[in-house]
Amino acid sequence: NAGVTQTPKFRILKIGQSMTLQCTQDMNHNYMYWYRQDPGMGLKLIYYSVGAGITDKGEVPNGYNVSRSTTEDFPLRLELAAPSQTSVYFCASSYGLAGPNLGANVLTFGAGSRLTVL
């Protein structure tokens, strides 16, 4: 069982370049998320999706786009890379909503993608 798989693990971009971070999960989770992790800042939510065809902005969506055409895949696109987007990006998924069964809201994380924009 692979869980959440992210590619690439490392990438260096030049300012203004575009790229897509891939994320796929094999647990049939409805909810998927993209976070960025900056030193000393914890994790910030970029975008999330509650199911195929449905996406919504998180705390820090500017400069990013997402799509969710299938349950399994949730790619994150950077259109015009900027140095401020240098970070470690984590994709995560969960089964369902918060509620009495908090097990539904436990996140499974990918191993991360380290992006440097020069």
Residues that bind another protein (CB under 8 A): 4, 31, 33, 40-45, 48, 50, 90, 92, 94, 97-98, 102-103, 105-107, 109-112
- Which residue's CB is nearer to another protein, number 3 or number 63? 3
- Which residue's CB is nearer to another protein, number 31 or number 64? 31
Rounded distance between C-alpha atoms, residue 5 and residue 104, angstroms: 20
Q: For tokens 């993608």, what's the residue?
A: 113
Rounded distance between C-alpha atoms, residue 25 and residue 92, angstroms: 9
**C-beta of 94: minimal distance to another protein in Å?**
8
CA 1, 4, 37, 97 dihedral sign is negative
- Which residue's CB is nearer to another protein, number 17 or number 114? 114
